Structure 1
Amino acid sequence: MTSAHSIPKHKKAKALKSSSPRPAKELCSECGLCDTYYIHYVKEACAFLNQQIAELEQQAHGGSRNLDSEDDLYFGVHQNMMAARKKQPIPGAQWTGIVSTIACEMLERGIVEGVVCVQNTKEDRFQPMPIVARTPEEVLAARVNKPTLSPNLSVLEQIEHSGMKRLLAIGVGCQIQALRSVQDKLGLEKLYVLGTPCVDNVTRAGLQKFLETTSKSPDTVVHYEFMQDFKVHFKHEDGSVEKVPFFGLNTKKLKDVFAPSCLSCFDYVNSLADLVVGYMGAPFGWQWIVVRNDTGQEMLDLVMDKLDTEPVMSRGDRHQAVQQSIPAYEKGVTLPMWAAKLMGVAIEKIGPKGLEYARFSIDSHFTRNYLYVKRHHPEKLEAHVPEFAKRIVSQYKLPEV
């Protein structure tokens, strides 16, 4: 395959100047690849033009997921899973700061020369600003998730031009699929990929609508997350935490908030990262860590002495809750807040926990997204939906489209 270094200069310039509609059109996740001359590879690299998770898993991990294993089916190729939290959390981190700690360690030990991460602009705490961090201070300035579409890969040209040979990239599934597709064009000797699970990102305008629709104080929200207790947790500037039950969200108003790319994504668990750190498969207050390959284990080993860990657990049965959620979402059902709180308390006590909660979340989103693709892009359905997602969706009765 042609290397990036051999792309004619006039093609690079043309790609850089292009402001035409993205090749993926409305499904573009704004990953940033098309902001660089690597747009030359977009038809092969874009997760929404060429879904190739199975092929890239083989390339990245040296093996494919076993679709007859429930853990592989849901969580992808992996060597190990655990729950973890830092013994001494990083102040201001979204959780305890495991991702930031790994990145800082890799820089301080000289394992990598730069880290692709996302700070925010000075003007807006939620506006993403991708950078190639060269110091731990720059990494720490990027702590806390940005719940908006982010062009992380827009910095790829900087990496090639810098002569950098060892890189850590932090990103979400659509970004990582594109990165894996072009990684051998970057001139790197070693690429480390640290992923986070990702679902339901929004544009900046969509984020504002979500905050104003859901939070009592949208202007003071520092970060938020949909948590395992079936509540959205909003952390505010004064340190207070506001909790809003899932079932009390104004679904009718919010159905059009999420990006079409997210409504057609089936890589919630970031299948192509070496190491994944999130919360969805862990007990409340802990992080879920998935080691996918030897490179991921090497990264995790750097910080193991700084972590408390425990085995993953799984409890409950998600199936009935998922089946009931399908028509509720379709009809835009919103419960009165008192009923939403009551239902939240009941489900928290008897509902799915640990890995079963993760499977609940995956099932809920995959069934919704399958229906979205079938309705809006039926011509893409067969090729775009991975085999593992088809198997997961097949467990449920879906409405006729």
Structure 2
Amino acid sequence: MTSVQPHKKAKALKSSSRRPAKELCSECGLCDTYYIHYVKEACAFLNQQIADLEAEAHGRSRDLEQWDDCYFGVHQTMMAARKQQPIEGAQWTGIVSSLAIEMLNRGWVEGVVCVQNTESDRFGPQPVIARTPEEILAARVNKPTLSPNLSVLELVEQSGLKKLLVIGVGCQIQALRAVQDKLGLEKLYVLGTPCVDNVSRDGLQKFLETTSRSPETVVHYEFMQDFRVHFKHEDGSIEKVPFFGLNTKELKDVFAPSCLSCFDYVNSLADLVVGYMGAPFGWQWIVVRNDRGQEMLDLVMDQLETQPVMSKGDRRAAVQQSIPAYEKGVTLPMWAAQLMGVVIEKIGPKGLEYARFSIDSHFTRNYLYVQRNHPEKLADHVPDYAQRIVGQYQLPQS
């Protein structure tokens, strides 16, 4: 395993708080390496270039006349899946870990860029280049904090690796795609996860303390398709808190400004994406974006139970109502939040329609954030597909 020590020049830049993206920096790690020289071209918050990079990675960019392209990006197939034999301790059933291990064991790659946790903090991200299955398994479970995954890139070149798998989220993958030709690799595979609303470590602590009954015992959590936050605790118990009961006024400011100005929820530039947002409860959503992604998925297909994606319900009224509710920091009494959660679970959007609900809710919120806080960036920063999605709704006047 190779872990990272920041490049001296980049470290000085970080400590003086002069990141080129300033407050919008997502701490992807690029500026911790000598690839910082490319940051003005590569950074998702300085140079929005998803359409061009999609064409390079997938052979085409999105067809804006196709709503599925607008929402879910360039793709060949989508499905719902889960492992027949789940990995113990995985956040879901372990599809991401299994795929990475299979690629390493078969010699497709020599290393896997993934994120373990620090020795002192289960939520503290520690990017590594994993060289063994055990090191990959040590990275299972999401770290819901900003994570400098790309800080290991200069170690890739120094170690002589030629075949690499990178696991990451949208802002990291956009920067990676922009510099991938500089890495000296013969093969690069990109496995993405959908990502929204990361926080700093302090912000995570505030979220846990504001929301969970026992913040010190939370192992992991996720905003789930049943409109509840699911907290898993050390004793194996699951605590469920309805979205509508969250203390919105207290929590509005914990999310990173980069996440509040992001329009790549679905990780558009990965070869293969594994998440949950477009799948039924208990399943994972898999999006194959190109031939390389299909080759990756084929390695583990015999380990999976699969079913077609489905879509049910209509999200639009709920999204429109959520816009002013978020703006005003509305929080329902817990009994009402629980009741509303039960009702929406029965009649609300499911499958791909739930994914659209989540995308619409975040894109409208993020559009307003950029419009109000960085109006000079609005026209260039919001991709065409996001503008089309946001255009379905009535937004408050700024």
Q: What TM-score results when the alignment is normalised by the length of structure 1? A: 0.96
Q: For residues 299 and 306 of structure 1, what CA distance do their matches in structure 2 show?
A: 13
2:202 is equivalent to residue 239 of structure 1: no
Q: For residues 349 and 321 of structure 1, what CA distance do their matches in structure 2 show?
A: 14
Q: Which residue does the alignment assign to 1:370?
A: 367
Q: For residues 147 and 25 of structure 1, what CA distance do their matches in structure 2 show?
A: 21
Which stretch shifts more, 17-26 or 283-292? 17-26
Q: Which residue does the alignment assign to 1:8?
A: none
Q: Which residue does the alignment assign to 2:333?
A: 336
Q: Which residue does the alignment assign to 2:320?
A: 323
Whether the 8 Å CA contact 2:19–2:31 is kept in 1: the answer is: yes
Whether the 8 Å CA contact 1:174–1:267 is kept in 2: the answer is: yes
2:386 is equivalent to residue 386 of structure 1: no
Paired amino acid for 1:137 = E
Q: Which residue does the alignment assign to 1:133?
A: 130
Q: For residues 11 and 144 of structure 2, what CA distance do their matches in structure 1 show?
A: 26
SS at match of 1:167: strand
Q: Which residue does the alignment assign to 2:76?
A: 79
Q: For residues 357 and 321 of structure 1, what CA distance do their matches in structure 2 show?
A: 11
Paired amino acid for 1:232 = V
Deviation at 1:152, TM superposition (A): 0.1
Q: For residues 245 and 257 of structure 1, what CA distance do their matches in structure 2 show?
A: 18
Residue from 109, 113, 118 that aligns with 1:112? 109
Q: Which residue does the alignment assign to 2:198?
A: 201
Pairs within 5 Å for 1:218-257? 218-257=215-254
Q: For residues 164 and 217 of structure 1, what CA distance do their matches in structure 2 show?
A: 43
Q: Percent identity?
A: 83
Structure 2 unaligned regions, length at least 5: 1-6
Q: Which residue does the alignment assign to 2:13?
A: 18
Residue from 178, 181, 185 that aligns with 2:178? 181
Matched positions, count: 390
Deviation at 1:16, TM superposition (A): 5.6
Whether the 8 Å CA contact 1:16–1:37 is kept in 2: the answer is: no
Q: Which residue does the alignment assign to 2:286?
A: 289
Whether the 8 Å CA contact 1:15–1:40 is kept in 2: the answer is: no
Q: For residues 154 and 232 of structure 1, what CA distance do their matches in structure 2 show?
A: 30
Q: For residues 124 and 251 of structure 1, what CA distance do their matches in structure 2 show?
A: 26
Deviation at 1:15, TM superposition (A): 4.4
Q: For residues 332 and 172 of structure 1, what CA distance do their matches in structure 2 show?
A: 28
Residue from 100, 103, 128 that aligns with 2:100? 103
Residue from 258, 261, 285 that aligns with 1:261? 258
Q: Deviations over 1:345-373 (max 9, x none)?
A: 00110000000000000000000000000
Structure 1 unaligned regions, length at least 5: 1-11
2:271 is equivalent to residue 274 of structure 1: yes
Deviation at 1:122, TM superposition (A): 0.7
Paired amino acid for 1:46 = C
Q: What TM-score results when the alignment is normalised by the length of structure 2? A: 0.97
Q: For residues 134 and 389 of structure 2, what CA distance do their matches in structure 1 show?
A: 42
Which stretch shifts more, 14-23 or 290-299? 14-23
Whether the 8 Å CA contact 1:120–1:126 is kept in 2: the answer is: yes
Q: Deviations over 1:118-152 (max 9, x none)?
A: 00001000000000000000000000000000000
Paired amino acid for 2:271 = D
Q: Deviations over 1:240-279 (max 9, x none)?
A: 0000000000000000000000000000000000000000
SS at match of 1:126: strand
Q: Which residue does the alignment assign to 1:61?
A: 58
Q: For residues 210 and 23 of structure 1, what CA distance do their matches in structure 2 show?
A: 28
Q: Which residue does the alignment assign to 1:52?
A: 49
Paired amino acid for 1:106 = M
Measured on the aligned residues, the alpha-carbon RMSD in Å equals: 0.8
SS at match of 1:125: strand
Deviation at 1:18, TM superposition (A): 3.1
SS at match of 1:156: helix
Q: Deviations over 1:17-55 (max 9, x none)?
A: 433311000000000000000000000000000000000
Deviation at 1:233, TM superposition (A): 0.1
Deviation at 1:70, TM superposition (A): 1.2
Residue from 145, 151, 163 that aligns with 2:160? 163
Whether the 8 Å CA contact 1:153–1:179 is kept in 2: the answer is: yes
Whether the 8 Å CA contact 1:13–1:37 is kept in 2: the answer is: no
